[in-house]
Structure 1
Amino acid sequence: MATEISLNTICGHTTKIIATKEGKTTHIHIKTTCEKLSKWGTHFDVEMKDLMGGPESVLDQKMTEAPLTPTCLVPAAVMNACWLENGMISKNLARGMGKMEIIFDKLE
């Protein structure tokens, strides 16, 4: 089974993250229109030790090699996909939510 997460963000780019767990490794495949994010590569692996984040994690390494803007939601979406694939977030809960949003309630 796989987890797929799609993002439509304020920058105008679209991104799809596909996570597939195999043993202790979660394979990540990213399809994106973002040039900066494409520098991460389309495929990489996340190991169990990376699931809690931190300076030695694969996502931190990706951000060091090809930094994104601080407001980019993709790193959080990758982590959510990994957590879903590894049973750290309930897929039933996520399925019930359908989507997470950032709502700009008031802008003057």
Structure 2
Amino acid sequence: MPTTVTVNSSICGFTHRITGKLEGKNIVVDIESPCGKIKSMSHMEIPMMETMDIKDNYVMDRAQKAQCTPICLVPSGVLHVCRMETGMLSKSLSKKNERVSIEFNEV
């Protein structure tokens, strides 16, 4: 069964749906999004070994080519999907915790 997550980018006003499935040595990721930049990277066949490092990373390279802002949450969402599909992040633990958040306390 594929992994699906929702990324709520409330600062930019967009909600994105990211779905990924491990196929051989690649994670095939599709993103439904109203954002033009994210649409340009919406279908990716990500080599599993190119998600291990934050600097030399297929997803981050694609986000940079799409000219995503440095604070865009979608690349992180894609990497969470990749980690769950490869078993490096527990799907049951992720579901139990339900979400990851950033809280702006001192603004």
Same fold (TM over 0.5): yes
Equivalent pairs, count: 106
Structure 2, unaligned stretches of length 5 or more? none
Q: What RMSD over aligned residues (CA atoms) do the two structures have, in Å?
A: 1.5
> Counterparts of 2:74 and 2:106 in 1: how far apart (Å)?
24
| Mapping for residues 29-40 of structure 1, pairs under 5 Å | 29-40=30-41
Native 8 Å contact 2:26 2:45 kept in 1: yes
Q: Give the match for residue 52 of structure 1.
A: 52
| TM-superposed deviation, 1:64 | 3.3
Q: Can you give the 5+ residue segments of structure 1 that lack an aligned partner in the other structure?
A: none
Residues 10-29 of structure 1: matches in 2 within 5 Å? 10-29=11-30
Distance 2:105 2:55 in 1: 34
Q: What percent of counterpart residues are identical? A: 32
SS at the partner of 2:46? Answer: strand
Query: What is the TM-score with the length of structure 2 in the denominator?
Result: 0.89
SS in 1 for 2:31: strand
The amino acid that maps onto 1:93 is L
Amino acid at match of 2:21: T
Alignment partners' CA distance in 2, 1:54 and 1:75: 11
Structure of larger gyration radius: 1
